[in-house]
Amino acid sequence: MTNATKTSNTPVATDRNAWQWGFTPGAEIWNGRLAMIGFSAAALIELFSGKGFLHFWGIM
């Protein structure tokens, strides 16, 4: 008699760098990373220049 509930533990190979359309986990990770870089850049501009981000670029 064989055990019919036994499953294979072989990992399924997927290309994590493949481009996929939509809100995928990879896209959301990159979106978060770029948002953190942008926020940090704006905070550093304010810290070192003494002006707000918009004043620094002459928008306001």
- The better pLDDT of the pair 23, 13 is held by 23
Residue partners of 26: CB distance under 8 A and separation at least 6: 16, 20
Quote the pLDDT of residue 24.
83
Q: CA 18, CA 7: separation in Å to the nearest integer?
A: 27
CA dihedral for 14, 19, 20, 22, sign (positive or negative): positive
| 8 Å CB contact between 21 and 11 | no
- Interval 21-59: pLDDT, tens: 778 888 888 899 999 999 999 999 889 988 887 888 788
Question: Number of helices and strands (H, E) in the chain?
Answer: 2, 0
Quote the pLDDT of residue 27.
85
